[in-house]
Amino acid sequence: MQFGKLERRFFLIGAITAFILPANILFAAGYRTANFVIEAPSPRLAQKIGDAAEQYRHDLAIEWIGQPLPRWSQPCPITAEVAPTLGAGGATSFVFDRGEVFNWTMTIQGSEERILDSVLPHEVTHTIFASHFRQPLPRWADEGACTTVEHPVERARQHRLLIEFLRTGRGISFPEMFAMKEYPADVLPLYSQGYSLARYLIERGGRKRYIQFIGDGLASSDWPESLNQYYGIHDIGKLQTVWLEWVKRGCPAPPASVAASIPQVQDIAQTTRGQSPDAPYLKGTARDRVSATAARQSIYVQRAQRTQRETNRN
């Protein structure tokens, strides 16, 4: 997709949205931190969201990649719509260009509680992965891992949806899922299945091993080899078999003997670069540029609408 067209689309969406957003967003309060600029319905909420975003950015980076991220040269704008009955969701967009990542934009919505304990850590984790890998991740690996940091209530919902999808024939074969570079038309099973697989792998090696597995798979495009190196499973079909059996058994935590049998790897020691202040903005060919996660806006709309329907029924 040409970025110019995408930029115009976002401009048009923004212009239309200005007419339909509720007054508490149109007259939002602002707050700024080192890496985020927040607009929320009140100064209290803006500060609470901004401080939480910085804390998540620091703590989750250490958990995933072993060290805090350096400060971005430009802060990420966060627009928050907060209401008790609003379905939880969000979207984060950014641009990759020749090894740099910039043009952060984040929108979040939901109740104050769910924004702070689920939506915000999910979205901030996307920015951590983007800053670390400097390229798009496989859809299942990105969304799945980000869902693992959400509140247990949200993770339990994803598991219930997974069972529903598997029982109704909407599951995705692992060879197909690993090959996906775009979101499928039936996108919600990708979220639930990606979360479940990310959880399965993380429980068997931790977050840092998961990051190394993804990094090596991205570098080599040989996912079976990366899977074998980090988890001792020799092919993707075998992974699907053992994962399905795990789901059938109720997703039990692995015994210590299983964790001990996983091949040992060194802790991550790669340096995560910050955004370069003088990065050339949108230079190079369209193929070199990726406006990441733009399609996720429609995904979150579906999640929010489903949550809203569940709330209305209860």
Nearest to 173 by CA among 104, 244, 124: 244
Q: Give the per-residue pLDDT at 199.
A: 98
- Per the CB < 8 A criterion, the answer to whether 1 and 182 are in contact is no
Please say if the pLDDT value at position 307 is more than 80.
no
Confidence of residue 8 (pLDDT cuts 50, 70, 90): very low
Place of tokens 């999808």: 165
Q: CA dihedral defined by 151, 210, 173, 218, rounded to 10 degrees?
A: 130
Place of tokens 């400060």: 71
Radius of gyration of the chain (CA): 19
Give yes or no for residue 196 having a pLDDT over 80: yes
Question: Where is average pLDDT lowest: 51-55, 129-133, 275-279?
Answer: 275-279
Position with higher pLDDT, 297 vs 307: 307
Q: Is pLDDT of 282 > 80?
A: no
Q: List, in sequence order, every residue forming a beta bridge with 78; answer none if it has no partner.
A: 38, 106
φ, ψ at 40 (rounded to 5°): -145, 170
pLDDT of 281 over the 70 cut: no
Beta bridge partners of 79: 39, 107
What is the Cα–Cα distance from 248 to 254, expressed in whole angstroms?
Answer: 14
CA nearest 146: which of 210, 80, 213? 210
Percent of the chain with pLDDT over 70: 72
Q: For residue 62, which amino acid is it?
A: I
What are 114-127's pLDDT values in tens digits?
A: 999 999 999 999 99
| 111/222 Cα distance (integer angstroms) | 41
Fold for 3-267+280-313, please state it: Neutral Protease; domain 2 (1.10.390)
Flag whether the pTM goes above 0.95. Answer: no
Q: Mean pLDDT over residues 211-229, rounded?
A: 97
- Provide the pLDDT for residue 308: 55
Share of the chain above pLDDT 90, in %: 68
d(CA 165, CA 172): 9
Distance CA(210)–CA(262), nearest Å, equals: 12
Contact 51, 256 (CB under 8 A): no
pLDDT digits (tens, 9 = 90+) for 56-86: 999 999 999 999 999 999 999 999 999 999 9
Cα distance between residue 19 and residue 271, in whole Å: 44
Q: What is the pLDDT of residues 225-268, one digit of tens each?
A: 999 999 999 999 999 999 999 999 999 988 764 544 444 433 32
Mean pLDDT of the chain: 80
d(CA 131, CA 99): 10
Selected residue with higher pLDDT from 276 and 296: 296
Domain positions in the chain are: 3-267+280-313
Q: Give mean pLDDT, residues 163-175.
A: 96
Condensed to tens digits (0 to 9), the pLDDT of residues 13-40 reads: 333 343 344 444 444 679 999 999 999 9
Residue 309 pLDDT level (bands cut at 50, 70, 90): low
**Does 146 have pLDDT greater than 80?**
yes
